[in-house]
Amino acid sequence: MPSYLLRVELEDRPGSLGSLAVALGSVGADILSLDVVERAAGYAVDDLVVELPLGAMPDMLITAAEKLTGVYVDSIRPHTGLLEAHRELELIDHIAAAPGKQDKLQVLVDEAPKVLRVGWCMVMRLGADGVRMVAGSHGVPETAATSAPWLPLQHAEALDGTAEWIPQVWRDFDTTLAAAPLGDHDTAVVLGRPGGPAFRPSEVARLGYLSGIVATILR
């Protein structure tokens, strides 16, 4: 049966998540896992992996969820595989076990999309001859960026998805972007999420923590 990653913003109060579960269940959805993305005063942002019966339309999930007061569906995307517990720790273990620096970078970009729930990941480096990709995951756009005016990068941040340096094909897919320095300010991990949603501050911070740990391993 097809599964979807549903990102919802809802009031952070007792019973709100239970009401959402009941609403989704009323259209035949089965919640497989839940991950808290962000919490702030009065609201929470959660990622839910839900499974629908064959032939059911994912729009049903949005309709059912937004019938509830205080619930807003940020995005819905097809999802393959369950969210894993302790996935950051597993990724770090896999990187540490890889034999060489390039192998470690490849493990990082290959596994980060699943861990951080994005479409693709690359490592970019700014050198004397310009910017180049030193490692890329499956799904990285074939059209490469020829410049990265945001490098050197001091800290993790969401990037402007409409900036002039971004290749047109990236914009055509409405790709949201986030980046974090990897070991030095001229090297960065870049995440791409075609079709959104936008990166939350908590997700950017999480990328920053992860890249800092990976930088230590690479040393």
> Which stretches of the chain score pLDDT less than 50?
82-85
pLDDT at 81: 59
94 and 70 co-located in one domain: no
119 and 177 co-located in one domain: yes
158 and 176 co-located in one domain: yes
Write the CATH number for 19: 3.30.70.260
Write the CATH number for 172: 3.30.450.40
Take residue 159 and report the two structure tokens written for it. Answer: 């990037």
62 and 95 co-located in one domain: no
67 and 96 co-located in one domain: no
135 and 206 co-located in one domain: yes
108 and 73 co-located in one domain: no
157 and 64 co-located in one domain: no
pLDDT, tens digit (0-9, with 9 covering 90-100), for 88-103? 888 999 999 999 999 9
pLDDT at 154: 95
Of 46, 78, 110, the residue that ends a domain is: 78
CA angle, corner 30, sides to 25 and 34, nearest 5?
105
152 and 173 co-located in one domain: yes
115 and 74 co-located in one domain: no
Provide the domain limits for residue 93.
87-218
pTM for the structure as a whole: 0.77
pLDDT at 86: 58
Of 78, 107, 140, the residue that ends a domain is: 78
pLDDT at 90: 87
pLDDT at 15: 86
What element of type H or E holds 195?
A: none
Of 55, 78, 101, the residue that ends a domain is: 78
DSSP string over 58-104? THHHHHHHHTSTTEEEEEEEE--SPPPTTHHHHHHHHHHHSSSHHHH
Give the chain's domain count.
Answer: 2
Q: DSSP letter at 3?
A: E
123 and 148 co-located in one domain: yes
34 and 132 co-located in one domain: no
